[in-house]
Amino acid sequence: MAGLAESGSNPDVELLYDINGLAKDAPHWFDRVMEYVGEYGVLLGLVLAVLWCWWTVRRRGAEDAASSVAALVWAPLAAGIAVLVNVPIRGFVERPRPFNDHQGLEVLVSGKTDYSFVSDHATIAMALGVALFVANRKFGLVGIGLALLEGFCRVYMGVHYPTDVVGGFALGTAVALLLSPLAMALLTPLMSAIERSPRAGRLIRARGTAGEDGGRAVLRGSRKDGSGAEERDLAA
């Protein structure tokens, strides 16, 4: 399986050259921006999105704040588990980085000596994005958009095939969704216990906030319908 996508007529390779070819025509400063965004920027943006969503939930102080925070705690845990799952996958497939098998690529990041499939960056980004979407649609759509940008950057930088990125998206999504019910069953009681603590409870609900009407949704939406009832995002 190490010879996966070695043929130059393979659509995967053709798309690699098409996307990476943009780096050859772009100004040097733009390539440096894409390098930073693809290596660090998108992942940092996803972490900030999770923290911003947590701050919003905490300040609102709804009765389901514990389950809401539990869903947000699951986001980084899902990303970590997805990366661990990827370790045996990469060892089994043993796909070399594209610049090892194909000439003429504009490689923006040096020192990549590990295997290419599946992309860790794409896996982490999509796991965070999908888990955030489970918690809150508005923030989740931003997260998924950032994950898609991450995938494009990895191919643009010449360090991954497009199918490496697609595989990472699939792996991150699967872990975030399939393990979410178990994670919520374990994390929600823990967050509820923290909420009852006089000091640590402020991590779940800000001081002075009053609980709204109860419910079992992971997070409430930010809009209200015509009757004034607040729209829920996704059911737990």
**pLDDT for residue 197:** 80
pLDDT tens sequence across 109-132: 887 888 889 999 999 999 999 999
**pLDDT (0 to 100) of residue 217:** 38
More confident site: 30 or 4: 30
What is the reported pLDDT for 15? 92
Mean pLDDT, range 78-106, rounded to an integer:
91
The answer to whether the Cα torsion of 27, 28, 29, 33 is positive or negative is positive
Q: Which residue has the tokens 């009765």?
A: 63
187, 73 Cβ separation under 8 angstroms: yes
Q: What is the pLDDT of residue 207?
A: 66
Q: What integer best gives the mean pLDDT of the chain?
A: 83
Task: Decide which of 98 and 201 is more confident.
Answer: 98
Please report the pLDDT score of residue 132 as a whole number.
94
**Distance (Å, whole) CA 109 – CA 117:** 17
- pLDDT at position 109 is 87
Q: What is the rounded distance in angstroms from the CA atom of residue 18 to the CA atom of residue 57?
A: 42
Which tens digit of pLDDT belongs to each residue from 118-169?
A: 999 999 999 999 999 998 889 999 999 999 999 999 999 999 999 999 999 9
Determine the Cα–Cα distance for residues 219 and 198; give it in Å rounded to an integer.
23
Taking the C-alpha atoms of residue 150 and residue 143, their distance in angstroms, rounded to an integer, is: 10
The DSSP H or E segment spanning 167 is helix 162-178
H-type alpha helices, 3-160:
11-25, 28-36, 42-60, 65-93, 98-101, 120-135, 137-156
Local confidence band at 222 (pLDDT 50, 70, 90 cut-offs): very low
pLDDT one-digit tens code per residue, 17-41:
999 989 888 899 999 999 999 999 9
Would you state the pLDDT for residue 7?
A: 44
Percent of the chain clearing pLDDT 70 (strictly above): 83
Taking residues 66-83, report their average pLDDT.
93
